[in-house]
Amino acid sequence: MIVAPGRSEVDVARTGLVCSLGRSPAQTILLLRAGHSALGRTPFGRPGRVLRMCSLRDLPTDLVGFERLLQLAVPALRQALPHPEADGEADGETDEQVPLLLALPPADRVDDDQSAAAHFTETLRDRTGLRIDIERSRTVRAGHASGARLLAHAQDLLEQRDVTAVMVGGVDSYYHPELLRELDHDERLIGAGNTDGFLPGEAAAFVLLRRPSQPSAEVAPTGSEGADLLPAAQPRLCSAAAGFIPPETIQAAAAWWREAHSEPKPTVAGQTRRPAGGRLLASARRARGRARLALRRLARNSLVGGSSWWRQRHQSKGRKRRGQQDTKELPPDVTITMTELAEGVMAVRSEGAVDWVLSDFNHGAERTDQWEKVARRLLDPEVVHSRLIGELGDVGAATMPTLLALACAHFELGCAPAPAALLAAHSDDGERGVVLLREAP
């Protein structure tokens, strides 16, 4: 059930997932717990360079682009919204068309196809034969956190009582030769020569949301493709919130990094050395122009930051405590936006602290450092941090629906480490999203 501040509760009625490791949420969880991995070689490397990712191995190796996204999305959507004939139901609630709020890969990637993206929802409807309300459907082309924004929009639709159910989903894949080669050229992929990259993957995930007055069936529909139907006591998604980093914060962070990692500064002895930040960066990322690469990463990853007034106020206090006068001594705080979002959604939970976190950790150092700082501010040290995206591979726009489907599967299988879970995601464009999910009472 989703409970956001100022919004009514809604149930997570059904889930569907197709990813590199499994073709349903429960199958994926069981394979993860058994220690399986989908990491393998792609055919897109070059002599002396192997490109690896987590990909669905039963798809053709030459299937790329939006056609591959459709092959991922069609079976996942059928799990979450089975055909009425498969349910064996006559006229009733399944006759209603369901809006689909869908997150697709960002439009600025080299694997983009604007025409296919513009008609993706209609193509899904035609290939699945499901009753999708095209007029009320919506597509966003963003990153990891876009799913939280769509979940909040779904709550608004259900609260207006114009619909009784809303589908929220996402699909993304890094399985494309030009995309992988570009990421490899920019040293963004994790590998033998780069320990500060991410592990690419692919997935399609969907969740069906209903108002509590609309219960779903208790048995899996005949003919569905590995459907995971949640018990009658459905999980409750307690809060969904998303927000963007203020542009001035991104600019201030970029300016600070540019100065901190610029030309070496002279020492007293006449020798040269890099600033403290530069030395730490060099030791962590190894040689070969990593200061310039860090600045490029900043522009792409858009480190989180708070509002200008907060930054000025707290940095000035810190300088006074340290006796500093240089306004450039401290970098802009890059975690306030996520901290405020997480604090806001956790405020609706009256039962106590949240002891389980599912984040979009993908092995990248910046994202890891940011979330650890947020966790130190809000969570107990004993909190369980599930890094499922790090094991399945980065799934881009499908991140939040994937985390939600996997968390629900944990509740369904009885292996959830806590009765409530906080889902957290960071988008490259500066958007941040959090969702609070709790087990049904």
Is 103 in contact with 398 (CB distance < 8 Å)?
A: yes
CB 105 within 8 A of CB 112: yes
Contact residues for 38 (Cβ-Cβ < 8 A; gap 6+): 19, 20, 21, 54, 55, 56, 57, 201, 392, 393
Residue 276's pLDDT is: 44
Instruction: Please give the DSSP secondary-structure letter assigned to residue 49.
Output: B
Question: What are the domain boundaries of the chain?
Answer: 11-234, 247-301
pLDDT at residue 183, as a whole number: 92
pTM assigned to the model: 0.79
153 pLDDT more than 70: yes
Q: Is the dihedral of CA 129, 130, 136, 138 positive or negative?
A: negative
At residue 284 the predicted structure's pLDDT band, cuts being 50, 70 and 90, is: very low
Q: How many C-beta atoms surround the C-beta of residue 77 within 10 A?
A: 28
Amino acid found at 151: L
Main-chain phi, psi angles of 243, to 5 degrees? -160, 155
- Predicted pLDDT of residue 236: 62
Q: Is the pLDDT of residue 61 over 80?
A: yes
The alpha carbon torsion through 15, 18, 19, 22 (nearest 10 deg) reads 90
Specify the pLDDT at position 219.
36
pLDDT of residue 227: 47
Residue 157: other Cβ atoms inside 10 A? 18
Higher-scoring residue by pLDDT: 9, 398:
398
Q: Confirm if 33 and 25 have CB atoms less than 8 A apart.
A: no
* 76 has pLDDT over 60: yes
Does residue 26 register a pLDDT over 50?
yes
Q: How far apart are CA 164 and CA 211, in angstroms?
A: 6
Distances (CA, A) of 143 to 27, 38, 108, 115, 131: 25, 22, 11, 19, 27
Q: Which CATH superfamily is domain 11-234 in?
A: Thiolase/Chalcone synthase (3.40.47.10)
Q: pLDDT at position 43, please?
A: 92
Mean predicted confidence (pLDDT) in 320-349? 67
At 374 the pLDDT is 86
CA 14 to chain centre: 19
Please check the confidence at residue 286 and state whether its pLDDT lies above 50.
no
Q: Check the CA dihedral 5-7-13-15 and report its sign.
A: negative
Band (pLDDT 50/70/90 cuts) for residue 312 is very low
In this predicted model, which residue has the larger pLDDT, 234 or 266?
234
Q: How far apart are CA 142 and CA 103, in angstroms?
A: 7
- Model pLDDT for residues 94-123, shown as the tens digit of each residue: 468 999 999 999 998 999 999 999 999 999
Q: How confident is the model at residue 7 (pLDDT cuts 50, 70, 90)?
A: low
Closest to 163 measured CA to CA, from 8, 339, 321, 56: 8
Q: Which of the pair, 380 or 135, is modelled with greater confidence?
A: 135
